[in-house]
Amino acid sequence: MDSTTDEILQRLEALERRLAQVVVRGRIHAVDPTRGLAKVEYGAEGQQQTTGWLPWKPQRTGKTITWSPPDIGEGATVISEGDLTLGEIIPGSYYDQFPAPSANPDVHLTRYADGAIEQYDQSGQTYQLLLPTSGTVNIVANGGVTITGDLTINGNIKATQAVADKVRAM
């Protein structure tokens, strides 16, 4: 082959390598929450490779900001411009080890590792916050809390100050 053909083949091979690294699917291999970086293991069984430390894409990073580091073993996709050292991780892909927590299209659900569940069902118009047995809820609202609607309490009420209704203080 002449030098022009060799050069074209080399460029083609380089392009094929870059193209193969534009979108890579795998699983989270390691997480460094302090630096906001993770590694992804990808490739066929027995031929796995691991990326270097890459940033993961959070849901939001503007005036509203979220924090939820990926878990080791969680499905993930790495996107790059063809160079995995410059990629970003998009965490979250359902598979056998981490299946979808619901099949209901009307439910927005977050399930936490300790068993806590936050769920809104738009068809049933119900919001649920389910905590483990020892879980607590703390609401800090210096401006006050207003509840419109009937209130059912299955347990004791404790107050550090007076409890009052329209008629009297208790």
| Residues forming beta bridges with residue 103, ordered by sequence position | none
- Quick: pLDDT tens for 39-50: 999 999 999 999
Burial of 37 (0-12, 13-18, 19+ CB in 10 A): middle
- Residue of 53, 45, 47 whose CA lies nearest to 29: 53
Name the average pLDDT for the chain. Answer: 93
Q: What is the pLDDT of residues 53-90, one digit of tens each?
A: 999 999 999 999 999 999 999 999 999 999 999 999 99
pTM: 0.80
Partners of 26 in the β-ladder: 42, 76
Q: Which of 25-29, 31-35, 151-155, 161-165 has the lowest mean pLDDT?
A: 161-165
Residue 1 pLDDT greater than 90, yes or no:
no
Say if residue 96's pLDDT is above 90: no
* Helix, strand and coil in the chain, % to nearest 5: 10, 30, 60
Instruction: Determine the topology of domain 3-91 in CATH.
Output: OB fold (Dihydrolipoamide Acetyltransferase, E2P) (2.40.50)
| Tokens coding 102 | 């619901």
Q: Where in the chain are the domains?
A: 3-91
Yes or no: say if 74 and 98 are a contact pair by the CB < 8 Å rule.
yes
The pLDDT value recorded for residue 165 is 82
Of 17, 22, 16, the closest CA to residue 90 belongs to 22
* Tokens 């659900």, residue located: 109
